[in-house]
């Protein structure tokens, strides 16, 4: 599904190498987790995959189902099936959440050559998906993320994911700023989307999210590289010994 | 005077021309207005309130040529049930206008009323304009009162059953229109006035509105989209106790637009809201909102919300003042002017002013200039919305606060559709 090879990325504004050769293969139907200390390049990886400005790819490649992601505009990546759940979802005053969701859904359908969804069908679909995430009508009416609590913003990200039905979901520190109940709700939302045709890349600093979203594969990232890959037990090792132990072991 | 020396003719007298013949009251009002204009002179760039806007095209003896812009879209407010009054190049057109009969509303042409010796409008025509000349001179409004021969006089005695719509068509590339309307809303009565269309190659328009106690006046206008037209408009409103005045203006295109509003709250607990959205593309676009609101009574509320979207070297100007007179306690004054600059060549010049002589008031003002929020743009694109669509969505979101000032949902939807259309064509 997602194939990253020898990816080197530096900041555009300054001479700073962030990713120093990332190799990663995420297969359809699988959940991969990337863990790592602060500054290891986890979030940079998610931004580069989604096409955010400010990063320069100096070497390597990233493709989604064989299509070169790095050549595409952010909207093309979305239409191709990539979704990034933001660590800090953006507030957009003046744009209603419903308008936003419908515009996004129909834009992707249009890009894929499908018909736009009717207002009635869309409303039905949103209500159904929102209900599972305990998102009420009020939250749907308000401007995108404006005045939302941390938990509401993350639930809104998962709602977008549920509506857009991407093939490859990248979750960037989705657990940050969430209490246990909110985390469970978000994890349930993600687990409901787990499917043989869909893959997940869960980026997190802590092991706790992985108690709720069980990964198939865990990678440890440090200093711009993946330094260790293993099963779910690797996450537990981090929980018990911190990153210091693994970093020392690899060095 | 520099101009006069160069051309050898007095530009002011050239603009005034001979006084049109009329009945006693109109003749007197025109004479008084001419006297006012001669005392203040035509404006120049050194005048405090003309520093940001060059009045040359408005001062010129003849209107600069303006091509007529044809669009395929339905006219503004087309779907709104309204009484239509049509002016072609500034001249009333009976053939395309509706019968001027509406329950609770008396409508007359200025030209017909002016020929009479006595008329209710004599208490207002040029009178509200004259009141609005202090402390800031408004020469084009005086020029208008002195020379206007067409326009409508509207007296509202009840809640008008539907809006009155003034439709301004532009057919002649050289037309130089002067229109003067007077509206009197009697106590407890209410009217919605719609205005739309470019009117002429150049228009000088004055609207005087007097709202008696408990009356309400709603005003929504869409200034015509002809790219080369020039417009100088002035509204003078006087509000009685507990009355309401709400005005919204949409401006897209045009070379020069100067919209002045002078509002006087003279009765307690009056409410005056003015809002505007302007969209400009290109170096020749220059849009100026100049607002002066005077609080001269207790417990009044005033609100100014102006948004401008500027690109490709367009210029926006906002000069907004709130004057709170001594004794105008419990005044609630709010003013916001914002521009969205879509490139580095466009500019927004803002001069917010507060002058307060009462001690128990709440007044706030703010002015901002900014570009499209890059984070929001990326967020939308990451959800699959193409960049141009995302930019339009954020642009509409920016002007939404001004459009929300329109109370009537159908009219607001119509204005929104104009905006969307404008954006779509500007790709």
Flag if A93 and B378 touch (Cβ within 8 Å): no
Q: Where are chain B's structural domains?
A: 20-376
How far is Cα B281 from Cα B315, in angstroms, rounded to an integer?
9
Residues in chain B with CB shorter than 8 Å from the CB of A77 are 382
Q: Are A164 and A108 in contact (CB under 8 A)?
A: yes
Burial class for A180, CB neighbours closer than 10 Å (0-12, 13-18, 19+): exposed
Residue among B160, B177, B183, B3 at smallest CA distance from B82: B160
Residue among B405, B15, B422 at smallest CA distance from B218: B405
Residue A162, pLDDT > 90, answer: yes
Q: Residue B160: what pLDDT? A: 98
Flag if A92 and B387 touch (Cβ within 8 Å): no
Q: Residue A251: what pLDDT? A: 58
Average the pLDDT over each of A137-151, A233-247, B3-17, B209-223 and give the range with the smallest value. Answer: B3-17
Residues in chain B with CB shorter than 8 Å from the CB of A84 are 382
How far does the CA of residue B38 sit from the closest CA of chain A (Å)?
48
* B427 confidence band (pLDDT: 50, 70, 90): low
Q: How does pLDDT run across A65-83, given as a tens digit for each residue?
A: 999 999 999 999 999 999 9
| Interface ipTM | 0.95
Q: How does pLDDT run across B317-373, given as a tens digit for each residue?
A: 999 999 999 999 999 999 999 999 999 999 999 999 999 999 999 999 999 999 999
A92-96/A143-144 β-pairing = antiparallel
| Mean pLDDT (whole number) for A176-203 | 90
Strands (E), B230-345: 230-239, 244-252, 256-265, 271-281, 286-295, 301-311, 315-324, 332-341
Mean pLDDT of chain B: 94
Of all residues in chain B, the percent with pLDDT exceeding 90 is 89
Structure-token pair, residue B164: 């009155």
Q: Residue B287: what pLDDT? A: 98
How far does the CA of residue B375 sit from the closest CA of chain A (Å)?
7
Q: Residue B18: what pLDDT? A: 81
Q: How many CB pairs under 8 A join A and B?
A: 79
Q: Residue A153: what pLDDT? A: 93
Name the pTM for this structure: 0.89
Q: Does A94 touch chain B (CB under 8 A)?
A: yes
Q: Does A117 touch chain B (CB under 8 A)?
A: no
Residue B376 has its nearest CB partner, among A77, A78, A90, at: A90
Name residues whose C-beta falls within 8 Å of residue A6's C-beta, 6 or more positions apart in sequence.
A21, A22, A23, A59, A60, A61
Q: How does pLDDT run across B203-244, given as a tens digit for each residue?
A: 999 999 999 999 999 999 999 889 999 999 999 999 999 999
Flag if A78 and B380 touch (Cβ within 8 Å): no
Residue B1, pLDDT > 70, answer: no
How far is Cα B29 from Cα B23, in angstroms, rounded to an integer?
10
Q: Residue A58: what pLDDT? A: 93
Residues in chain A with CB shorter than 8 Å from the CB of B393 are 95, 99-100, 103
Residue B75, pLDDT > 70, answer: yes
* B245 confidence band (pLDDT: 50, 70, 90): very high
Residue B37, pLDDT > 50, answer: yes
Residues in chain B with CB shorter than 8 Å from the CB of A79 are 384
Mutate to test the interface with B, among A104, A108, A116 (most CBs of B within 10 A): A104
How far does the CA of residue A81 sit from the closest CA of chain B (Å)?
9
Mean pLDDT of chain A: 91
Q: Does B372 touch chain A (CB under 8 A)?
A: no
Q: How does pLDDT run across B121-165, given as a tens digit for each residue?
A: 999 999 999 999 999 999 999 999 999 999 999 999 999 999 999
């Amino acid at each position: 599904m997602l194939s990253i090879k020898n990816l080197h990325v530096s900041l555009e504004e300054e001479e700073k190498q962030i990713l120093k050769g990332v190799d990663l293969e995420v297969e359809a139907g699988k959940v991969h987790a990337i863990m790592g200390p602060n500054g290891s390049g986890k979030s940079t990886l998610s931004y580069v995959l989604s096409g955010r400005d400010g990063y320069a790819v100096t070497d390597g490649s990233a493709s989604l189902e064989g299509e070169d992601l790095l050549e595409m505009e952010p909207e093309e990546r979305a239409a191709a099936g990539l979704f990034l759940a933001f660590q800090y979802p953006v507030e957009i005053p003046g744009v209603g959440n419903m308008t936003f969701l419908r515009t996004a859904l129909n834009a992707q359908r249009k890009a894929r050559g499908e018909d736009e969804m009717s207002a009635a069908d869309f409303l039905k679909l949103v209500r159904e998906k929102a209900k599972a995430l305990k998102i009420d009508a009020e939250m749907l009416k308000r401007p995108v993320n404006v005045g939302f609590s941390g938990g509401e913003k993350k639930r809104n990200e998962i709602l977008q994911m549920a509506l857009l039905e991407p093939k490859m979901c990248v979750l960037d520190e989705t657990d940050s700023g969430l209490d246990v109940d909110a985390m469970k709700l978000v994890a349930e939302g993600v687990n409901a989307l787990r499917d043989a045709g869909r893959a997940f890349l869960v980026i997190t600093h802590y092991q706790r999210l992985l108690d709720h979203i069980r990964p198939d594969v865990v990678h440890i990232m440090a200093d711009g590289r993946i330094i260790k890959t293993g099963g779910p037990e690797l996450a537990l090792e981090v929980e018990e010994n911190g990153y210091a132990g693994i970093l020392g072991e690899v060095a | 005077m520099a101009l006069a020396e160069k051309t050898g003719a007095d530009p002011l007298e050239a603009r005034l021309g001979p006084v049109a013949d009329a009945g006693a009251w109109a003749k007197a009002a025109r004479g008084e207005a001419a006297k006012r204009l001669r005392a203040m002179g035509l404006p120049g760039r050194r005048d405090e309130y003309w520093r940001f806007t060059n009045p040359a095209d408005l001062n010129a003896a003849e209107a600069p040529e303006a091509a007529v812009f044809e669009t395929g879209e339905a006219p503004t407010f087309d779907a709104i049930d309204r009484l239509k009054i049509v002016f072609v190049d500034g001249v009333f057109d009976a053939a395309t206008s509706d019968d001027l009969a509406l329950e609770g509303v008396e409508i007359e042409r200025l030209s017909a009323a002016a020929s009479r010796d006595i008329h209710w409008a004599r208490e207002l025509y040029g009178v509200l304009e004259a009141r609005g000349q202090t402390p800031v001179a408004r020469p084009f409004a005086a020029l208008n009162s002195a020379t206007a021969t067409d326009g409508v006089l509207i007296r509202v005695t009840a809640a008008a059953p539907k809006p009155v719509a003034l439709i301004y068509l532009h057919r002649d590339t050289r037309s130089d229109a002067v229109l003067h309307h007077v509206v009197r809303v009697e106590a407890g009565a209410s009217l919605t006035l719609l205005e739309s269309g470019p009117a002429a190659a150049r228009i000088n328009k004055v609207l005087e509105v007097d709202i008696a106690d408990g009356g309400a006046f709603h005003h929504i206008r869409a200034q015509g989209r002809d790219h080369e037209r020039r417009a100088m408009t002035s509204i003078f409103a006087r509000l009685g106790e507990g009355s309401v005045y709400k005005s919204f203006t949409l401006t897209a295109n045009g070379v020069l637009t100067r919209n002045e509003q002078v509002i006087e709250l003279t009765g307690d607990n009056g409410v005056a809201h003015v809002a505007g959205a302007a969209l400009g593309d290109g170096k020749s676009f220059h849009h100026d909102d100049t607002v002066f609101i005077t609080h001269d009574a207790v417990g009044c509320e005033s609100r100014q919300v102006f948004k401008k979207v500027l690109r490709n070297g367009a210029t926006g100007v906002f000069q907004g003042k709130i004057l709170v007179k001594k004794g105008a306690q419990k005044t609630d004054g709010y003013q916001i002017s914002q521009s969205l600059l879509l490139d580095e060549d466009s500019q927004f010049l803002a001069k917010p002013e507060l002058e307060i002589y009462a001690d128990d008031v709440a007044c706030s003002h703010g002015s901002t200039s900014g570009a499209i929020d890059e984070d929001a743009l990326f967020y939308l694109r990451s959800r699959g919305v193409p960049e141009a669509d995302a930019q339009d969505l954020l642009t509409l979101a920016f002007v939404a606060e001004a459009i929300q000032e329109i109370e009537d949902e159908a009219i607001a939807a119509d204005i929104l559709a104009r905006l969307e259309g404008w954006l779509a064509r500007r790709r």
